[in-house]
Amino acid sequence: MEKTFSIIKPNAVSKNVVGKVISCFEEKGLRVAAIKMVHLSREKTEGFYIEHKDRPFFASLVQFMTSGPVFLMCLEGEGAVARNREIMGATDPAKADAGTVRKLFGEGIEANAVHGSDSSQSAERELAYFFEKSEIHSRF
Ligand code: ADP
Ligand code: MG
């Protein structure tokens, strides 16, 4: 059993598909172990995406991620990190497989509906960045 970190990004929240996105995770074997709705600050978002700080899209990405509220989640299940990435689909919705969250709800490579940790180390860092241990309700 494994935990991963997920964000439902501002474009999906504003489209009112939060329930549909969560259903994609639940139907494919993941369980919500923590969830909160927040409007991220610029500072918090820059720290979260620090690995991308030198990329040309960094400023625009931070602008997008702070443009409206998001849902921060801990998802858990068997092989949760990799399973979540499969359910999400490719970074660019145009290249994502049919039925993935990004294909269904992404607007473009930036407004791609969801974030998911890319490794168990990232998951640990990202969960600790947003959640207290007491806020995560593991069933395993
Ligand atoms: P992923 O979210 O699939 O792990 P990355 O870690 O490479 O992808 O990028 C982080 C986020 O930055 C993406 O989810 C997307 O919102 C944005 N992003 C990535 N590449 C681009 C790009 N070329 N142009 C604009 N935004 C991008
Ligand atoms: Mg990434």
DSSP characters over 26-61: HHTT-EEEEEEEE---HHHHHHHTGGGTTSTTHHHH
Quick: pLDDT tens for 94-136.
999 999 999 999 999 999 999 999 999 999 999 999 999 999 9
Q: Whose CA is nearest to atom 5 of ligand 1?
A: 91
Give the distance (Å) from ligand 1 centre to CA of residue 51: 11
Ligand 1 contacts CB of residue 118 (under 6 A): yes
At 95, which helix (H) or strand (E)? none
Cβ atoms of residues 80 and 2 within 8 Å: yes
Tokens of 118: 């890319």
Mean predicted confidence (pLDDT) in 70-84 = 98
Question: SS3 for 99?
Answer: coil
Q: Is residue 24 scored above 90 in pLDDT?
A: yes
Distance CA 5, CA 121 (A): 11
What's the pLDDT at 14?
Answer: 98
Q: Whose CA is nearest to atom 18 of ligand 1?
A: 110
Mean predicted lDDT score pLDDT of the chain = 98
Residue 9: C-alpha distances to residues 2, 15, 104, 107, 134 (Å)? 22, 10, 14, 11, 24
Distance CA 72, CA 90 (A): 20
Give the distance (Å) from ligand 1 centre to CA of residue 14: 19
Give the distance (Å) from ligand 2 centre to CA of residue 4: 12
Give the distance from CA 128 to its chain's centroid.
14
* pLDDT-derived band at 140, boundaries 50, 70, 90: confident
pTM equals: 0.98
Quick: pLDDT tens for 56-70.
999 999 999 999 999
Q: How many residues does the chain have?
A: 140
Q: Active site includes 39?
A: no
